[in-house]
Amino acid sequence: MSSTTSGAYDDLLEHVTQLSYVEDAGGLLRWDQQVMMPEGGTPARSKQQSALSTLHHDLLTDDELAGYLDDLDEASLDPGQQAVVREVRREHERARKVPRDLVERISEATSEALPVWEQAREDDDFESYAPVLEELVDLRREYAQAIDPDRDPYEVLFEEFEPYLGLDTAERVLEELRAELPDLIDAVAESDVTQPRPFDGSYDVDDQEELVRAALDELGFDWDRGRLDTSAHPFTSGTQFDARITTRFDPEKPLDSLSSTIHEFGHATYALGLPDDEYGTPLGEARDLTVHESQSRLWENHVGRSRAFWEFFLPTVEEHFGVETTPEAAYGAANRVYDDNLIRVEADELTYHMHILVRFEIERDLIAGDLDVDEVPSVWNDRMEEYLGIRPDTDAEGCLQDIHWTNGTFGYFPTYSLGSVLAAQLYDAADGEIGPIEEGIRAGEFDDLRTWMTENVHSHGRRYTTDDLVREATGEDYTAEYFIEYVTEKYGDLYDL
């Protein structure tokens, strides 16, 4: 690399790291708003968030950055440098099409929407939330139109969260799940097997928190670089130096807080597995949300809902909850397929994807203008009845349950299913190299699995596109085959199908 090229690359890297630091500061403010901020702090926080979002946009669209990218157009770069330039260029060119004032308006609107959604959810009052949702839909349509007026706006928004697999891949995978899962769900419902319910009853929230902290200890959560808090909707935020998990507790549903915490641990272990020395560059950032969700779903389902996990962890549960049961009963309870579950984050592995289909179809129609905001509750309830055979009695347990639209993240939901599919493929690849993984889980040894994921997924940052990363990690193209095989075998065994 010539001295001129080296100088341009160094300048680009310095610019990009400043950009990343601003984005991470905004992430901390968002975490604080959902976890620590007093209720009256929204007016100031929305302005702070808007200022940081605008600064981030200015840095990303700066003419100097465009100049560095131009200088590197024909440069001879190593693969890592090429990946950095590719990722920066993609985000730069996309952001340059978005007006600065639109970035400000979106940031303020999402910050101001949070307390409205929280109150509407608490009061079961969609009508008070509808104007906010309508504004967010309009803003996101405007955003997509600015980036590419000639393309499907939902496709443009989907690429915010998964830029490389393509909406066509998402739709194909969702179609496969829609084709395969309902028959399996129906077979489970018709089965004579009834899974036990050893954890029915009410469990103190403090006891639940002690239990999930014990689970995080066993899984290997790095408390020196992480923390656990509560929020209205579980989420994880942070970097390789500071990964923050949130969960929530319901006295009547103790397994839900455990599974949601393990889910968020998966996100956190991805963040903490990113290379320290690449912090601030694309090589030190996660490869978008299909891969991120693969990590959370892998730890939640393939580990936390495995028979081996319950053989290992049940004594700890019994100690904290004062119950006595068997590992087989606990395993069955953790994997019971619900015929009456309205809440996505509490759903079993099978019906979960029907929840995703409901949200995907509604948000796609909202962005397309084929569905009015005031129609959302009735359409939501109709599709829940169609796909899951249940109908919410309230909007709080229906269309107000998720935070994503309040954050303006239209296009996010498909990545949950895409990630679940990838989790099965990654788990199979890891099991082939270091397995049998279940033996380690049964012994309470999780280091080998974490290390494999770090070496094959986390350590690459954004060096590879999503499809290339899948091939690097598994030796195969991205496929739903492993997920379908996994759930068919697992639930066939559980329900004697």
| pTM of this structure | 0.95
Tokens at residue 267, please? 């996100």
Instruction: Report the residue count for the chain.
Output: 497
pLDDT per residue as tens digits for the range 50-104: 999 999 999 999 999 999 999 999 889 999 999 999 999 999 999 999 999 999 9
Q: What is the CATH number of domain 167-494?
A: 1.10.1370.30
Of 226, 232, 259, the C-alpha closest to 245 is 226
Q: Are 437 and 482 in contact (CB under 8 A)?
A: no
- Asked about 264 being catalytic, the answer comes back as yes
Sign of CA dihedral 156, 160, 161, 164: positive
Q: Are 352 and 420 in contact (CB under 8 A)?
A: yes
Q: How far apart are CA 338 and CA 354, in angstroms?
A: 12
In terms of DSSP bridges, do strands 226-230 and 242-247 run parallel, antiparallel, or are they unpaired?
parallel
The pLDDT of 341-346, averaged and rounded, is: 91
pLDDT per residue as tens digits for the range 349-362: 999 999 999 999 99
pLDDT for 2 equals 57
Q: In terms of C-beta density within 10 A (0-12 exposed, 13-18 middle, 19 or more buried), how is residue 194 classed?
A: exposed
pLDDT for 338 equals 87
Say which of 118, 159, 160, 264 is annotated catalytic.
264
Query: Which amino acid type is present at position 417?
Result: S
Intra-chain end-to-end CA distance of the chain, in Å: 61
Per-domain boundaries in the chain: 3-151, 167-494
Q: How far apart are CA 474 and CA 283, in angstroms?
A: 20
Of 107, 157, 234, 31, the C-alpha closest to 414 is 157
Q: Virtual CA dihedral for 444, 313, 205, 305, nearest 10 degrees? A: 90
Of 87, 157, 176, the C-alpha closest to 418 is 176
pLDDT for 3 equals 56
**Number of helices (H), then strands (E), in the chain:** 20, 3
pLDDT per residue as tens digits for the range 365-402: 999 999 999 999 999 999 999 999 999 999 999 999 99
The pLDDT of 471-495, averaged and rounded, is: 98
